[in-house]
Chains A and B, each alone.
Chain A
Amino acid sequence: KAGVTQTPRYLIKTRGQQVTLSCSPISGHRSVSWYQQTPGQGLQFLFEYFSETQRNKGNFPGRFSGRQFSNSRSEMNVSTLELGDSALYLCASSVGRGQGDTQYFGPGTRLTVL
């Protein structure tokens, strides 16, 4: 089976712009979770989508949003970018049964905000 794919792999944006990142889960997986990884804060949960609905949400401002399509592919959007949004954004997919689900990570999108 193909793994989780994320596009683009690298992005450079300037403050105030917006960005959209894409994630395609492993075939048959219905849950997609997004995480932000920074050297200072480590890996932090952004949100999870299951069957096109947000099922879980982390403690990030409303500038961070996401959605999921009927084929389970997911996108996340960050509006009004700030320097602190520079990070590795990771998408993880799982079957979607909830507790105990194993999440498999994609390669990530490295976002740099100038």
Chain B
Amino acid sequence: QKEVEQNSGPLSVPEGAIASLNCTYSDRGSQSFFWYRQYSGKSPELIMSIYSNGDKEDGRFTAQLNKASQYVSLLIRDSQPSDSATYLCAVTLTGTASKLTFGTGTRLQVTL
């Protein structure tokens, strides 16, 4: 079992719709969770971080964390073509405070 798992996609959603990206992790002791966006040929850029169970909203983005079920998700409301990118879930596993373990990423395509 991979430490951090994501569906590779592509996930295709029409413009204006809600995109839902999911990530599961194997280490129950994980404490910090991050979502990064990566455009083709570019480096990852931080979208959100979340540390506590529940929802965290920032503009059109909402991160959801459920430690009991070991998943973290990212919702993108009012999806725009400029949101088309690969979304990377990153987790700090137990005892690896400053090391990010990444999922393989989900490619999102927002269609006109």
Q: State in angstroms the CA–CA spacing of A45 and B42 once bound together.
A: 18
Residues of B within 8 A of A35 (CB): 100
Number of B positions contacting A (CB below 8 A): 24
Task: Kindly state whether residue B17 has any CB partner on chain A within 8 Å.
Answer: no
Q: State in angstroms the CA–CA spacing of A94 and B34 once bound together.
A: 14
Most B-side CB within 10 Å, residue of A48, A103, A105: A103
Indicate which residue in A42, A44, A58, A99 contacts B97 across the interface (CB closer than 8 Å).
A99
* Given known A-B contacts A43-B88, A99-B31, A102-B34, A48 and B98 have beta carbons under 8 A apart: yes
Number of A positions contacting B (CB below 8 A): 28
Number of A-B contacts (CB under 8 A): 65
Q: State in angstroms the CA–CA spacing of A103 and B99 once bound together.
A: 9
Most A-side CB within 10 Å, residue of B49, B90, B99: B99
| B98:A108 contact, CB within 8 angstroms | no
What are the interface flags for A80-97 relative to B under an 8 Å C-beta threshold, 1 for contact and 0 otherwise?
Answer: 000000001010101010
| B98:A33 contact, CB within 8 angstroms | yes
For A96, give the chain B residue with the smallest CB separation.
Answer: B98
Could you tell me the dominant secondary structure of chain A's interface residues? strand
Indicate which residue in A58, A90, A104 contacts B46 across the interface (CB closer than 8 Å).
A104
* Given known A-B contacts A45-B99, A50-B98, A102 and B88 have beta carbons under 8 A apart: no
Task: Kindly state whether residue A56 has any CB partner on chain B within 8 Å.
Answer: yes
| A31:B98 contact, CB within 8 angstroms | yes
What are the interface flags for A1-36 relative to B under an 8 Å C-beta threshold, 1 for contact and 0 otherwise?
Answer: 000000000000000000000000000000101010
Q: State in angstroms the CA–CA spacing of A105 and B88 once bound together.
A: 13
Q: State in angstroms the CA–CA spacing of A48 and B102 once bound together.
A: 15
Smallest beta-carbon distance A34→chain B, Å: 11
Smallest beta-carbon distance B88→chain A, Å: 7
Residues of A within 8 A of B42 (CB): 107
Interface residues of B (CB under 8 A from A): 31-32, 34, 36, 42-46, 49, 51, 88, 90, 92, 96-105
Interface residues of A (CB under 8 A from B): 31, 33, 35, 42-45, 48, 50, 55-56, 58, 88, 90, 92, 94, 96, 98-108
